[in-house]
Each structure stands twice: as C-alpha cells, then as structure tokens.
A and B are shown apart, each in its own frame.
Chain A
Amino acid sequence: MAEQTSTANAWPANPADLIPAGRKRLGWGLLAAATLGLLAIIVVQILYKTEMSTVGFDTWRPMVYAYILWGAALGAWQVLTRGEDGQRALFLLPALLFTIAMVIFPTLFGFYIALTDWNLSSFTGRRFNGLDNFWQMLADPYYRNALLNMVLYVLAVLVEYVVAFGLALLLNAQIRARKFFRVVFLLPLMLSPVAVSWMVGKSLMEYRFGPAATLARHLGWDNPAFFSDPITARISIMMLDAWTFIPFMMIMLLAGLQAMSREVLEAARVDGATAWQTFWQVTFPLMLPVSVTAVILRIIFKLKLADIIITLTSGGPGGATDSVSSFIYREYRDRSNVGYGTMLAMAYLIIIVVFVTWLLKVASRFVRNVN
C-alpha cells in the first residue's frame, strides 16, 4: 500500500561544520546519560523482580517514563548534533518511537507467550512448553472452523461491493436531494456496532416480536429464526456487518465516479452505446483501480470482524458464526487460556500477512493487465 512520495528533498542540508563542537558534545552527553538511565532502570527492575535485590519499583511503570525521556533525549541529540537535518528527523521520530514501542515489543512478547502454557486462572503460572500450543492448534476443529468462516465472511465482501457500487451509481445519477440521501446512506457507518447488534440483531430480528421477523412471516417464512441454524446465522451476521460497512465502499466508489472524465462518457453516448454497454465497457473498467482499493481496504477491515459476533451470537450456534477474533476472545474470556489464545492469534497474524501481501500483488497485476 506504500506509494511513492513524490517531492524530493527540497533544501540542501546545512553544512555540518556550522555546528559548534560544544553543542555536539552536549548532544552526545545527553543521549549517553538518557541511555544509561534507561538501562539502569531496566537492570534495577530485573534484579528486583527476580528477587536478587530489594531496591526497585512495584510495577514497570517507571520504564514507560524512562522510555519517554529517552525518546526526548534522542530528539534533542538529533537537533544538537545534526542541526537542520536533526530538525527534519524530529518530524518522524515521535510516531516512529511510539509505533515501535507499541507494536514491535508486544508482538515479540506475544510470540514468546504463544510458546508457553499459561492459564490465568490456574496457580502454576507461566510455563514454557515449546510447540505444544501449535500442535494443539492444528488439531483444533473450532479454530479451523473459524478460519473457514473468515473465508466466507471475506467472500461476502464481493456482494457488499456490488451493492455499494449500485448505491454509488444511484447517488451519481441526476437526482434531487442528493445530499440528503448521501448523509442517510452514510449514517450506518457512524453507529456503534455493539449498539447496532443489540438493537438490530437482538431486538429488530427477535423471533417473537421483532418487526424483521414479522415481515419475514408475512413474506412466507414460517419460522424466522435468524440465529438458530448455522447457515442463516452466518448470513445474518454478514448482513449486519454489511449494513455498517457498505457506506464505506460506497463513498470511495462515489468519489471515483465523480472524478471520471465526462468526455469519455459523452463519446460512448455519441457512438450509440446503450447505458448497459457504457457501464460495462467504459465506467466499470475505468473504476477498476478505485474498486480494487475499496475492496482491499474493506477486506482488511473484515479480517478484524469481532464485536458483532461477540455481542450477538458469541460464536453460536455451536461455533458456526465464529470469526477468528471472536473465538480467541472467548478462549481468553471463558477459559483464561492466554498462552493458547496468543498462539492462535499469532498464527492468524501470519496467515493475514501472507494473504494480504498476495492480495496486493495480485491486485496490482490485475489492474495493470486490464488497463
């Protein structure tokens, strides 16, 4: 997803010899002091926590402060020793330090937890058990089932795409009250999925009194239970999720439609193409890049699907609607199984990274071939 940044370095760097030696020394001194301080706190804490010394803090909180101070010292060091180049680096440093601290460290730690047998509700505590979790995962039918469900949920994106494209075309047609319809169509995206799954999933679609169930009875479905058999339950979840996220794709596609040049459409019309032909041979191919972006972003969001399932079905009936996230959530919430849950999550991460990389590659080749 990274694109080329277009603007080259606009200004030549200041000559480094303009910076006085004293200032450089100050910078290096500051960085050295901060690094030593950070390391000292780590050592003191490790000694304290392993009960080899009595001096230390109860929690690792001081580490957080030390890291922030160290980051500040790193920034000061950049400015003091490198002048304007350092000031430029300062733009990037906060986000970089933040992301590294919040992602790299927890992920590495996660890989370690994944290799342990750790149940928060048992007294034995953490115990390294190698690949046991991994073998258990391979034999776990519920996890496999959750992965299979994710495939189905991701495939549902194609249907969402068709609906979203239709809505974008509608909004792009010559209509009155366009702004009103656009706001209304956008609203579902703003609503909390948890509140929606309660009010829609548990009340509107309630078997006995829900208006949706009543409507379904009128339409000839005798037994409108939306969440009791596996296939209907899956479809209901997909529909609820689609309801919240269709506006997202719709807005992107609408922007694409509005950016399209009118000359091409005019030309098609002059050549006598019907609306149907114009759509398939002009509009759709021109919209392909935007469509691919929208679908990929939507798939990425879909892979995180959890809250609707957690609140609505808790994965039921019998794990039929489980997404990977909701399954791992329950693995932790109900069974406190941190080690095994983390192993599942890490495996999922690897699958996702491989899948999304493949998807991006295929998508870019696809767009290039068609155009």
Chain B
Amino acid sequence: MSVQTTDYTVSEIRSPAAFIANRVLIYGALVFWAFVCLFPIYWTITTSFKSAVDVTQGHLIPFVDFTPDWKGWRSLGLSPDSIFQTSTVRDEFLKRFMNSVITSVGASALAIVIGSLAAYGLVRYRYKFAWFRNEDISFFFLSQLILPPVVLALPFLVLYREVALLDTRIGLVLLYTLMVLPIVIWIMRDQFNSIPVELEEAALVDGLSIWGAFFRIVMPIALPGMVAAFILAMVLCWNEYFFAALLTSTDAKTIPVMVASQTGSQGINWWSMAALATAAIAPLAIIGIALERYLIMGMTAGSVK
C-alpha cells in the first residue's frame, strides 16, 4: 500500500488562525490516541522492574519515583545475575515459549502451503466436483471464518483423545491451520488475481508443466503476499488462547495459557506477571514494527477494489 498525502483537510482552511487550530486539533488527537495505545505497553514493561511497594503505590516513572530492579525478570530466571544459574521457572518458560513458536510457525507454514495452492487453483482453473463449482468451493473455504472456536472445541476434545492428539503440538498445529486457512486463501486469491495470466502462458509455451510454472514463475511474484499472509496467520496463532486452554495440559501448553495461570496462593506477583506478559508480547511487537508493511498488505487484501 502506498502512502499518499491527501491534503483536502488543509486546503479547506482559509485563515491562519483556523489553520493553527486545525493543526492543534489533529496532532492533539494523534498524540492522545498514541498515548492510549502505548501506555498499557509502557505499564507492562515498567511493572516488570518494580517491587511490590512500587506496584501498590502506583509509581509510574522509573528512576524518578521508583528504582528499577530486575525483580520480575529474576523470578523468570532471565535477569543478568540469574541467567547463568539453573532455574526451573526459566526452563518452564522456555518450553512454553518454544511450544508457542513451533505451533504458530508450523500452523502458519502449513496454512500457507495448502492455502496458496488452493487459492491458485481457484483463481486460474475451473473446477467441478459433483455439483460444486469454483464459487461454491471458495465460499466453502471462506465460510469457515465464521465458525466460532467454541463449536469445534468440545468435539475436538473428544476426537483428539481418541486419536491421541490431546496435549500435543501437532494437534494444536492442525487446529490453528484450520483457523487461519480462510484468511490465507482470501489474501492469496487476491494476490494471484493480480498476476497477469500471460506470464504462465509464456512459461507453458517454453515447456514448463503447470506445476513448474507455479513454482518457478508464479511463486516468486506472489512471495510478498505469502509473507503478508504468513505474518497475519502468525499473529492470530501466537495469541490464540481458547483452543490452547482447552486442549493442552502439561506438554503442549503455550505462552498465553501460561500467562493466564499465574495466580499464586498469595495473590498475583505483579512483577513476574509483567515480565511474563512482556516476554509474551515482545516477539509480535517486534515483528509488527519491522514488518508493518506486510501486515497492512495482508489486512487490506481484497477490501479495496
């Protein structure tokens, strides 16, 4: 998506005073909303450096009204002084973290592979399975989007127990793939539609098979779209809580489940909770900032024609 400036708001304004008022209003609103977006993140990160007193007295600014301390990170075994010591909490955390990485990357990758293939087929060829044509098949895939997780959760609980997939990462990967597949197909269909069909025709004339043309000509062009779909799928899988909470118990627990189960007998240890929450949101926040362009591309696919 290109960044254009549409300056009609400015050109409306005639007098200098009105211009300044207009600017103040716009930047005021922007700064206000930026504060709304950033303050919770700031609060989470600073709380992981607070001790109990600082939390309960609502201290806000480090070095001014409280002295930062590695307390939260020490309880996770991730502070500078504890990182080289053995820590069961850290092992636990790393295990959950790896579970999250494996399930979200695995599910996104699987969804990209089968979703791209299906989207390509639906865009380029005419199918007829019994009385289902392309439009019906597309609708079948996209309609999965409205299926709420709660409908599948209990049947899957029972079925997974029968096929011994309960509390396994593979089980979660399969479910997450199902969850993001409609979105991937939606994005990739839009992508393939924008590639001129002449490119593949030329490749076929040059003697490539249709699969050869797909892998050597189409895929490199559609790569940005795939990255966009992959990142959007990653975000959804990484943050997923409902299935993970129901279908995992000891082995395959993911980070959100670990975050949600942090209540101790003496209430909540806010500093360790905050450290954990920071660790849970950091990977995606970094990806989001670095690859924002792709995220936006994924979200706007097909919405603007």
Contact = CB atoms under 8 A, between A and B. Distances in A.
Contacts of A356: 146
A290 to B, nearest CB: 6
Contacts of B145: 1, 300
A101 to B, nearest CB: 9
A192 B280 contact: yes
Contact of A199 (B181, B209, B277): B277
Contacts of B39: 204, 211
B298 to A, nearest CB: 10
B273 A113 contact: no
B255 interface: yes
B26 A311 contact: no
A192 B139 contact: no
Main DSSP-derived SS at the A contact region: helix
Interface string A207-228: 0111100100000000000000
Contact of B55 (A175, A200, A209): A209
Given A1-B142, A275-B9, A200 B40 contact: yes
A71 to B, nearest CB: 11
Interface in A186-215: 186-196, 198-200, 202-204, 208-211, 214
Contacts of B118: 91-92, 94-96
Given A4-B135, A346-B151, A184 B120 contact: no
A183 B37 CA distance: 10
Given A10-B200, A91-B121, A199-B44, A99 B144 contact: yes
Interface residues of B, number: 125
Interface stretch (B62-70, B91-99, B282-290): B282-290
Given A183-B288, A211-B58, A248-B299, A95 B114 contact: yes
Interface stretch (A23-31, A102-110, A134-142, A362-370): A102-110
A209 to B, nearest CB: 4
Interface string A37-67: 0000000000000000000000111011000
Contact of B34 (A4, A92, A181): A181
Interface string B116-137: 0110111111110100001111
Main DSSP-derived SS at the B contact region: helix
A325 B6 contact: no
A102 B303 contact: no
B280 to A, nearest CB: 5
Contacts of A196: 40, 281
A273 B147 CA distance: 45
Given A188-B37, A304-B148, A204 B43 contact: yes
A106 B165 CA distance: 14
B191 interface: no
B299 A251 contact: yes
A214 B58 CA distance: 9
Interface in B291-305: 292, 295-296, 299-300, 302-304
B58 A209 contact: yes
Contacts of A316: none
A157 interface: no
B147 A103 contact: yes
B235 A92 contact: no
B215 to A, nearest CB: 12
Interface of A: 1-11, 59-61, 63-64, 84, 87-92, 94-96, 98-99, 102-103, 105-107, 109-110, 113, 166-167, 169-170, 172-175, 178-179, 181-196, 198-200, 202-204, 208-211, 214, 243, 248, 251-252, 255-260, 262, 265-266, 269, 274-275, 278, 290, 293-294, 300, 303-304, 306-307, 310-311, 324-325, 328-329, 332-333, 338, 341-342, 345-346, 348-349, 352-353, 356
14 contacts: A11-B204, A60-B164, A91-B214, A92-B121, A106-B155, A173-B26, A174-B9, A186-B295, A209-B55, A252-B304, A256-B304, A274-B12, A307-B242, A352-B148
Interface of B: 1-12, 26-27, 29-30, 33-34, 36-41, 43-44, 47, 55-58, 60, 113-115, 117-118, 120-127, 129, 134-159, 162-165, 174-175, 177-178, 181, 185, 189, 193, 197, 200-201, 204, 209-211, 214, 235, 238-239, 241-242, 245-246, 255-256, 259-260, 262, 268, 270, 273-274, 276-277, 280-281, 284-285, 287-289, 292, 295-296, 299-300, 302-304
